[in-house]
Structure 1
Amino acid sequence: MNAPSNAESVPIQSDGDVADWLINHTRDERFIDTIFAQMCIRLQRAGIPVKRATLHILIQHPQWLGARMLWADGMNEAEIARFDHEVRQSSAYIGSPGKEIHDGVTELRENLEQDPALGRQHAVYDEMRAQGLTDYVAWPLYHTLGKRHIVTFATDRPGGFDDAQIASLKSLLPALALVSEIRVKNRLARTLLETYVGTHAGELILAGATSRGSGTTVRAAIMICDLREFTRISDNWPRDDVIDLLNDYFDAMSEPIARHGGEILKFIGDGLLAIFPLSQPSACANLLHAVSEARQAMIALNENSRGTGRAPMNYGIGVHVGDVMYGNIGSRTRLDFTVIGPAVNMASRLETLTKQLGRTVLLSRAFADHVAGEFDLEHVGEHPVRGFSEPIELFAYHG
């Protein structure tokens, strides 16, 4: 959770002060959930009896449709819950206030003191009645280009919010929309960069590493993985089946890499390039642990494929260690944040050799020296490697 700021230290005289605070005094606060919790506390001090409030944000994320920030009386921080893309088919969403707002309603008010049979029927209203709440209001929160998010407020005041309190809450919406959009766009930029270039590269880009040729030298373990016979598969399988296969394969490979501290820099058709920087002392061991877990995931995936009549998938992995140039490469207007250098070329050549030598995972001697005694490796001798003048001593890993 993000630490609350100094909301307690600033006396609030009116709801107008809350709007001023939102506009002029939150610029150094990075997280919208923190701002939202502070705003609710300040509203209470301004005499508006908010007991519960939520902020619902739609986000562009490969896994999540959106997030809900929930604040309730006595909380210094908002609770964050994320929702996947299937939530719109759930009973929690169908018939909910959120669906009504997303369908175009511009204000939703529910008297929670009246007989439930006379009001809208949904579980969230029953939950709020059970908490002793008496009134609930929800509004769309408009961001640019017509994007609609949602903010809600509820009270336990007998008789609910009065007209002046509703007017005060509604008057805050433009300021809250402005402040929330800035934070959501910042988070979106970070999410998109993490999704498409990886966490570490994304951080560097956000920090300003965007000029062509900018970069740094990183010593890392490099892993290149490639799917076997993908051309045959893509030529003979239906398009949607090919996409599903690739996604399943990349899940099996990628999740262990991320879990063990590696970073996938790119997907290249049916292959991937990942690095484990040696700034982490156990980077090379972590890479092999990731390979072991990926192997188990692929075994399970192939078992499932047999059950559906599909042929099992085979793959090859080449692993090396060395210095790589990590940074921006490309044309004046289109850059790629990646790694290049002889060490990357070596890993690529070893991946190609897995087919010739009949091994799934091939390691260079330079990499094997980093994990000597920790893993059971098969010595497969010295072999010529295209582009390198001397034969390279290789090891296979079967873990």
Structure 2
Amino acid sequence: MDAPSNINSVITHSDSDVAHWLTNDTRDERFLDNIFSELCVRVRQAGIPVKRATLHLLIYHPQWLGARIMWADGMREAEIGRVDYDVRERSEFIGSPANELFDGATEVRENLERDPSLGRKHALYDEMRAKGLTDYVAWPLYHTLGKRHMVTFATDRSGGFEDAHVSGLSKLLPVLALVSEIRMKNRLARTLLETYVGSHAGELILAGATRRGSGTTVRAAIMICDLRDFTRISDNWPRDDVIDLLNDYFDAISEPIARHGGEILKFMGDGLLAIFPLSQPTACANLLQAVAEARQAMAALNESNGQTGRAPLNYGIGVHVGDVMYGNIGSRTRLDFTVIGPAVNMASRLEALTKQLGRPVLLSRAFADFVDRDFALERVGEYPVRGFSDPIELFAYHG
């Protein structure tokens, strides 16, 4: 008769140790998956026979609704999976513990040893039974302002979790919620900055570069791209079609830029501004590789659009190289992290000339001098450029 009391006493004491560690000793760990893995190991050492655990988080990423951190006994590190926005319409969600919790349940508990016909019906429970798990519990993890995430624990112990095990785990939830919310907000801040200003600018802002007028001079290759006839398209196409078109166009142009080390600083309606800092010795070659791949992607997009009767999308790209001021510009309360300077103006003027000269990509002589002969550049000639006193020697690039 004394065994349950002893178990309660041991688990209560050990839970306090785990909670103390979670509260006080995780300050220097940036990544939540590492904290969650260590938590599960410590929970097992405390006498709670957790065999498998998951942490499900709504992450508000542009591409994914959420993420799942999964730990199992014997794993060296947790496994992280991403969850698509349409998951709630799929069978993996419908009828799942997550479905129940996000519909308002405060706990989902399932005895996996009993006859499956008597329990909940979902593929997840069958998968856990197949892995020898005997008991499962899931709880909402409450963050501030009503945001609900989810944590689950499962065991392979014969007879499942004891009440003391479940009680011990539940006592850790408030601390886990606080620790996970801090990491979530840090990651969300980083994600938002990467999404809206780019990864390099985001890192500078997170490091404290938020004062108006602060910045530095950067020598870089500058690329400006603009879509042709967008006003006509937006006036005549349905709104949703215009948004889809812009997203497809920006995917085609942007992904090669990011892949080759460029930094997209801003989208301007149907255009974009990107730089390739010359601190990278192959920056100019990287830019041309990105342009070549972007042109291939645009050709594929136009072919796909042509099959649905849409007219091809035309675009212009202007490229120059020079010193730019890179930093915070704006009003006292609203700043933009961007680049300015004559070199940016030149790239913009060259982009405008692409339409006049019928060349999709125009490069300045200054940029061409940085490029290997391996890249076949066609000399177009010297042309006056608005805002600059002397004609500029231009080159076309066909990728």
TM-score (norm 2): 0.96
Indicate if the aligned counterparts of 1:57 and 1:66 stay in contact, CA closer than 8 A: yes
Partner of 2:243: 243
Partner of 1:395: 395
Q: Deviations over 1:348-373 (max 9, x none)?
A: 00000101111000000111111130
Partner of 1:111: 111
Cα distance in 2 for partners of 1:255, 1:267 equals 14
Partner of 2:165: 165
Residue 370 of structure 1 aligns to a residue whose secondary structure is coil
Q: Deviations over 1:297-349 (max 9, x none)?
A: 11111111111111111000000011111100000000000000111001000
CA RMSD of aligned residues (A): 1.0
Indicate if the aligned counterparts of 1:210 and 1:328 stay in contact, CA closer than 8 A: yes
Q: CA deviation at 1:13?
A: 6.4
AA aligned to 1:159 is G
Map of 1:340-379 to 2, 5 A cutoff?
340-379=340-379
Q: CA deviation at 1:172?
A: 0.3
Q: Deviations over 1:148-172 (max 9, x none)?
A: 0000000011111101111000000
AA aligned to 1:265 is L
Residue 370 of structure 2 aligns to a residue whose secondary structure is helix
Partner of 2:48: 48
User: Number of aligned pairs?
Assistant: 388
Cα distance in 2 for partners of 1:61, 1:170 equals 29
Cα distance in 2 for partners of 1:208, 1:219 equals 22
Indicate if the aligned counterparts of 2:350 and 2:363 stay in contact, CA closer than 8 A: yes
Cα distance in 2 for partners of 1:111, 1:372 equals 68
Cα distance in 1 for partners of 2:289, 2:88 equals 38
Indicate if the aligned counterparts of 2:378 and 2:395 stay in contact, CA closer than 8 A: yes
Partner of 1:9: none
Map of 1:75-94 to 2, 5 A cutoff?
75-94=75-94
Partner of 1:295: 295
Partner of 1:187: 187
Partner of 1:282: 282
Q: CA deviation at 1:239?
A: 1.3
AA aligned to 1:375 is F
Cα distance in 1 for partners of 2:240, 2:110 equals 45
Indicate if the aligned counterparts of 2:50 and 2:155 stay in contact, CA closer than 8 A: yes
Cα distance in 2 for partners of 1:15, 1:247 equals 49
Partner of 2:5: none
Q: Deviations over 1:97-122 (max 9, x none)?
A: 11111111100000000011111111
AA aligned to 1:149 is H
Q: Deviations over 1:234-265 (max 9, x none)?
A: 11111111111111111110111111111110
Residue 44 of structure 1 aligns to a residue whose secondary structure is helix
Q: Deviations over 1:6-41 (max 9, x none)?
A: xxxxxx961110011111111111011100000000
Cα distance in 1 for partners of 2:230, 2:190 equals 32
Whether 1:140 aligns to 2:143 is no
Whether 1:338 aligns to 2:338 is yes
Cα distance in 2 for partners of 1:265, 1:375 equals 26
Residue 396 of structure 1 aligns to a residue whose secondary structure is strand
Partner of 2:3: none
Q: Deviations over 1:52-77 (max 9, x none)?
A: 00000001111010000000001231
Q: Deviations over 1:143-195 (max 9, x none)?
A: 00000000000001111110111100000000000000000000000000000
Cα distance in 2 for partners of 1:288, 1:275 equals 12
Indicate if the aligned counterparts of 1:107 and 1:137 stay in contact, CA closer than 8 A: yes
Cα distance in 1 for partners of 2:244, 2:131 equals 45
AA aligned to 1:383 is Y
Partner of 2:223: 223
TM-score (norm 1): 0.96
Q: CA deviation at 1:268?
A: 0.3
Partner of 1:156: 156
Partner of 2:321: 321
Cα distance in 2 for partners of 1:13, 1:120 equals 34
Residue 266 of structure 1 aligns to a residue whose secondary structure is strand
Indicate if the aligned counterparts of 2:113 and 2:135 stay in contact, CA closer than 8 A: yes
AA aligned to 2:183 is R
Q: Structure 2 stretches of 5 or more lacking a match?
A: 1-11
Q: CA deviation at 1:123?
A: 1.1
AA aligned to 1:85 is Y
Residue 179 of structure 1 aligns to a residue whose secondary structure is helix
Indicate if the aligned counterparts of 2:362 and 2:396 stay in contact, CA closer than 8 A: yes
Map of 1:247-262 to 2, 5 A cutoff?
247-262=247-262
Cα distance in 2 for partners of 1:372, 1:143 equals 54
AA aligned to 2:163 is D
Q: CA deviation at 1:83?
A: 1.1
Indicate if the aligned counterparts of 2:285 and 2:372 stay in contact, CA closer than 8 A: no
Indicate if the aligned counterparts of 1:70 and 1:78 stay in contact, CA closer than 8 A: yes
Cα distance in 1 for partners of 2:289, 2:80 equals 32
Residue 133 of structure 2 aligns to a residue whose secondary structure is coil
Cα distance in 2 for partners of 1:57, 1:220 equals 39
Whether 1:270 aligns to 2:255 is no
